[in-house]
Amino acid sequence: VLKETSAFQVRVSPQYVADQSDPAKGYFCFAYHVNIQNEGPEAAQLLSRHWVITDGHGNVEHVKGEGVVGEQPVIEPGESYDYVSFCPLPTPTGSMRGSYKMLNEQGKKFEVSIPEFRLRCEMIH
Protein backbone atom coordinates (compact mmCIF):
# COMPACT_ATOMS: atom_id res chain seq x y z
CA VAL A 1 0.00 0.00 0.00
CA LEU A 2 1.45 3.33 -1.02
CA LYS A 3 1.86 6.09 1.53
CA GLU A 4 -0.74 8.31 -0.22
CA THR A 5 -3.34 6.38 1.76
CA SER A 6 -2.74 8.62 4.76
CA ALA A 7 -3.83 11.66 2.72
CA PHE A 8 -7.40 10.32 2.69
CA GLN A 9 -9.47 10.04 5.85
CA VAL A 10 -12.62 7.93 5.80
CA ARG A 11 -15.31 8.43 8.43
CA VAL A 12 -18.45 6.32 8.61
CA SER A 13 -21.65 6.88 10.60
CA PRO A 14 -23.92 3.81 10.59
CA GLN A 15 -27.59 3.84 11.55
CA TYR A 16 -30.29 1.18 11.90
CA VAL A 17 -33.26 1.80 9.58
CA ALA A 18 -36.28 0.39 11.41
CA ASP A 19 -38.89 1.20 8.74
CA GLN A 20 -36.93 -0.74 6.09
CA SER A 21 -36.32 -3.73 8.34
CA ASP A 22 -38.35 -6.84 9.16
CA PRO A 23 -36.81 -8.45 12.27
CA ALA A 24 -39.42 -11.25 12.30
CA LYS A 25 -38.12 -12.36 8.89
CA GLY A 26 -34.46 -11.89 9.83
CA TYR A 27 -34.00 -8.74 7.74
CA PHE A 28 -32.18 -5.82 9.37
CA CYS A 29 -31.44 -2.78 7.22
CA PHE A 30 -28.59 -0.41 8.05
CA ALA A 31 -27.74 2.90 6.42
CA TYR A 32 -24.23 4.27 6.57
CA HIS A 33 -23.05 7.77 5.78
CA VAL A 34 -19.49 7.93 4.43
CA ASN A 35 -17.27 11.01 4.36
CA ILE A 36 -14.01 10.74 2.38
CA GLN A 37 -11.69 13.69 3.06
CA ASN A 38 -8.68 14.46 0.86
CA GLU A 39 -6.05 15.96 3.16
CA GLY A 40 -3.25 15.49 0.64
CA PRO A 41 -1.68 17.74 -2.01
CA GLU A 42 -3.27 16.16 -5.09
CA ALA A 43 -6.60 15.03 -6.47
CA ALA A 44 -7.52 11.37 -6.83
CA GLN A 45 -10.41 9.50 -8.36
CA LEU A 46 -12.28 6.77 -6.52
CA LEU A 47 -12.37 3.82 -8.93
CA SER A 48 -13.84 0.95 -6.94
CA ARG A 49 -14.83 -0.34 -3.52
CA HIS A 50 -14.31 -3.56 -1.61
CA TRP A 51 -16.45 -4.19 1.48
CA VAL A 52 -15.98 -7.01 3.96
CA ILE A 53 -19.34 -7.48 5.70
CA THR A 54 -19.63 -9.76 8.73
CA ASP A 55 -23.01 -10.64 10.21
CA GLY A 56 -23.76 -11.50 13.83
CA HIS A 57 -23.16 -15.23 13.13
CA GLY A 58 -19.65 -14.55 11.84
CA ASN A 59 -20.55 -15.14 8.18
CA VAL A 60 -18.38 -12.98 5.90
CA GLU A 61 -19.43 -11.55 2.56
CA HIS A 62 -17.14 -9.66 0.16
CA VAL A 63 -18.79 -6.99 -1.99
CA LYS A 64 -16.75 -5.44 -4.78
CA GLY A 65 -17.86 -2.94 -7.37
CA GLU A 66 -17.12 0.09 -9.49
CA GLY A 67 -17.26 3.43 -7.71
CA VAL A 68 -19.77 4.25 -4.99
CA VAL A 69 -23.51 4.87 -5.45
CA GLY A 70 -23.00 4.82 -9.23
CA GLU A 71 -20.26 7.46 -9.19
CA GLN A 72 -16.48 7.52 -9.52
CA PRO A 73 -15.81 10.92 -7.94
CA VAL A 74 -12.60 12.91 -8.26
CA ILE A 75 -11.77 14.31 -4.82
CA GLU A 76 -9.68 17.47 -4.97
CA PRO A 77 -7.14 18.48 -2.29
CA GLY A 78 -8.94 19.91 0.73
CA GLU A 79 -12.28 18.63 -0.55
CA SER A 80 -14.43 15.78 0.66
CA TYR A 81 -17.01 13.46 -0.85
CA ASP A 82 -20.09 12.24 1.01
CA TYR A 83 -22.57 9.51 0.21
CA VAL A 84 -25.12 7.28 1.91
CA SER A 85 -25.59 3.59 1.18
CA PHE A 86 -27.34 0.61 2.74
CA CYS A 87 -26.45 -2.83 4.01
CA PRO A 88 -29.06 -5.48 4.82
CA LEU A 89 -28.11 -8.15 7.35
CA PRO A 90 -29.84 -11.33 8.54
CA THR A 91 -28.82 -10.49 12.13
CA PRO A 92 -29.34 -7.42 14.37
CA THR A 93 -25.58 -6.92 14.69
CA GLY A 94 -22.59 -7.05 12.40
CA SER A 95 -19.66 -5.06 11.12
CA MET A 96 -18.22 -3.64 7.93
CA ARG A 97 -14.73 -2.67 6.83
CA GLY A 98 -13.05 -2.37 3.49
CA SER A 99 -11.08 -0.28 1.07
CA TYR A 100 -11.36 2.06 -1.89
CA LYS A 101 -9.11 1.77 -4.92
CA MET A 102 -8.02 5.24 -5.96
CA LEU A 103 -6.17 6.68 -8.97
CA ASN A 104 -3.90 9.70 -8.50
CA GLU A 105 -2.95 12.38 -11.03
CA GLN A 106 0.24 10.49 -12.00
CA GLY A 107 -1.84 7.46 -12.98
CA LYS A 108 -0.81 5.43 -9.92
CA LYS A 109 -3.42 3.29 -8.19
CA PHE A 110 -3.48 3.07 -4.41
CA GLU A 111 -5.82 1.87 -1.69
CA VAL A 112 -7.50 3.80 1.08
CA SER A 113 -8.66 1.63 3.94
CA ILE A 114 -12.11 1.99 5.48
CA PRO A 115 -11.88 1.40 9.23
CA GLU A 116 -14.15 -1.24 10.71
CA PHE A 117 -17.47 -0.01 12.08
CA ARG A 118 -20.23 -1.85 13.93
CA LEU A 119 -23.80 -2.29 12.78
CA ARG A 120 -26.24 -2.59 15.65
CA CYS A 121 -30.00 -2.64 15.82
CA GLU A 122 -31.19 -0.70 18.85
CA MET A 123 -34.60 -2.29 19.24
CA ILE A 124 -36.97 -0.86 21.82
CA HIS A 125 -38.79 -3.53 23.82
Q: Which residues have a Cβ under 8 Å from the Cβ of 101 and sit 6 or more positions away?
A: 46, 47, 48, 49, 50, 109, 110, 111
- Distance from C-alpha of 53 to C-alpha of 76, rounded to nearest angstrom: 29
Q: Which of 18, 16, 12 is closest to 31 using CA atoms?
A: 16
Residues 31-78 pLDDT 10s: 999 999 999 999 999 999 999 999 999 999 999 999 999 999 999 999
What is the reported pTM? 0.90
Residues 11-21 pLDDT 10s: 999 999 999 99
